[in-house]
């Protein structure tokens, strides 16, 4: 069986920088409050009009394709991971295919939120290893800013997230022991409502008993009511403590799983790039695994949590800064809504 490798990588973040102090114009918060809880200092927000999840993905994809030394016409499959698509349907993958003028290739959308890029990379890895495709474009892109509650009520969620996109091109490689060594995917839906955006949806209230503190009101099925906007149920909901407790267990587990699969140890890791969920989570994982500070790459301080885009943005930035060199062992890991989590081990 063939091995697959990341042949090209790129990222794009919007020009609009919003610092923690900027957010104090909309909500009762402070730079100190946000940094203490998340480690975030600033984030990027896309233009309200004209800049979308897809267009940001296109910009990242252009760079990845150029660095892979291929053309748009040579891409033979697209995988697009996002929780913030341009439309409820169709997904962003076909919109990217159209915007980039690609041929009629397969296009797949992944809705695994924070772990979306790991899931997408794993799928690309399988397609390439089996010989089905030679140039798989994997994109993670998010425009969170259009759907956040920028009020004091929503600050616990809204201060965390930012916009941006990252992309890679996955190709086959004949180099023994190089490329994507293994990927590992997991899920547990028992606490799905702990981190969720309930609307729009078609549940018609079937899961109502699982949603915490739901107000006593008539449900609108797919409809978004004025009451939902007023009471906050129209916006993303997160039980931060529950997410943190689960993440700090599952992150190390899935990293150890990847290392064990390849008969490696934590000390063999050249660079760990965790999903940029919260700097406190990353620091906890670093301590748990006994890694040095220079073995873990974090950029959440600059971009916030860009969900499916966070790993490819961080991976590209680390590579551009010379922190990833040929032969390095790079571990990617993510945990997020669902709950879903996963890891990928790569010999660069």
Q: Indicate the Cα dihedral angle 194, 308, 269, 188, nearest 10°.
A: 30
As given in the structure block, the two tokens for residue 214 are 């739901």
Catalytic residue among 20, 92, 112, 114: 114
Task: Compute the distance between CA of residue 23 and CA of residue 35 in angstroms, rounded to an integer.
Answer: 13
Category of 44 on φ-ψ map: left (φ > 0), alpha (ψ -120 to 50) or beta: beta
**Which ranges constitute the DSSP H helices of the chain?**
20-23, 31-38, 53-67, 92-99, 116-129, 155-158, 226-231, 240-261, 279-289, 300-303, 310-320
Q: State yes or no: is 331 an active-site residue.
A: no
The verdict on whether omega for the bond into residue 200 sits within 30 degrees of 0, i.e. cis, is yes
Q: How many helices (H) and strands (E) does the chain have?
A: 11, 13
What is the end-to-end Cα distance of the chain in Å, rounded?
19
Per-residue exposure over 63-94, b if at least 16 CB sit within 10 Å of its own CB, e if not: bbbebbebebebbbbbbbbbbbbbeeeebbbb
Task: Compute the distance between CA of residue 313 and CA of residue 299 in angstroms, rounded to an integer.
Answer: 9
Q: How far is CA 191 from the centre of its chain?
A: 20
- For 50, what's the count of Cα atoms within 13 Å in the CB-facing half-sphere? 2
Q: State yes or no: is 114 an active-site residue.
A: yes
Q: State yes or no: is 316 an active-site residue.
A: no
Task: Compute the distance between CA of residue 129 and CA of residue 171 in angstroms, rounded to an integer.
Answer: 9
SS3 162: coil
Catalytic residue among 275, 278, 298, 331: 275
Report the side by side order of strands in the sheet with 329-336: 179-187, 340-347, 329-336, 271-274
Q: Which residues are catalytic?
A: 114, 275, 305
């Amino acid at each position: 069986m063939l091995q697959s490798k990341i042949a090209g990588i790129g990222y794009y973040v919007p020009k609009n920088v919003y610092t923690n102090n900027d957010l104090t114009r909309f909500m009762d918060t402070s730079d100190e409050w946000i940094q203490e809880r998340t480690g975030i200092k600033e984030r990027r927000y896309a233009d309200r009009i004209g800049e979308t999840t897809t267009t940001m993905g296109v910009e990242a994809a252009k760079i990845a394709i150029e660095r892979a030394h291929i053309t748009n016409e040579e891409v033979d499959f697209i995988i697009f991971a996002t929780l913030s698509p341009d439309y409820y349907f169709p997904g962003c993958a076909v919109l990217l295919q159209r915007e980039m003028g690609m041929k009629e290739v397969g296009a797949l959308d992944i809705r695994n939120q924070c772990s979306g890029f790991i899931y997408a990379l794993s799928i690309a890895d399988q397609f390439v290893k089996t010989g089905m495709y030679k140039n798989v474009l994997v994109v993670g892109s998010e425009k969170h800013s259009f759907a956040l509650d920028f009020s004091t009520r929503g600050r616990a969620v809204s201060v965390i997230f930012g916009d941006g996109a990252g992309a890679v091109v996955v190709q086959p490689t004949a180099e023994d022991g190089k490329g994507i060594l293994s990927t590992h995917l997991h899920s547990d839906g028992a606490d799905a409502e702990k981190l969720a955006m309930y609307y729009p949806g078609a549940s018609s209230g079937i899961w109502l008993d699982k949603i915490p503190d739901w107000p006593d009101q008539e449900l609108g099925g797919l409809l978004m009511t004025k009451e939902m906007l007023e009471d906050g149920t129209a916006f993303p909901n997160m039980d931060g403590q529950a997410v943190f407790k689960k993440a700090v267990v599952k992150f190390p587990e899935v990293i150890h799983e990847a290392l064990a699969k390849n008969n490696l140890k934590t000390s063999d890791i050249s660079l760990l790039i965790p999903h940029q969920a919260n700097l406190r989570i990353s620091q906890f994982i670093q301590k748990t695994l006994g890694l040095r500070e220079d073995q873990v790459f974090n950029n959440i301080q600059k971009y916030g949590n860009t969900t499916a885009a966070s790993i490819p943005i961080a991976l590209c930035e680390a590579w551009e800064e010379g922190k990833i060199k040929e032969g390095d062992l790079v571990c990617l890991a993510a945990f997020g809504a669902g709950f879903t989590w996963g890891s990928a081990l790569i010999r660069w």
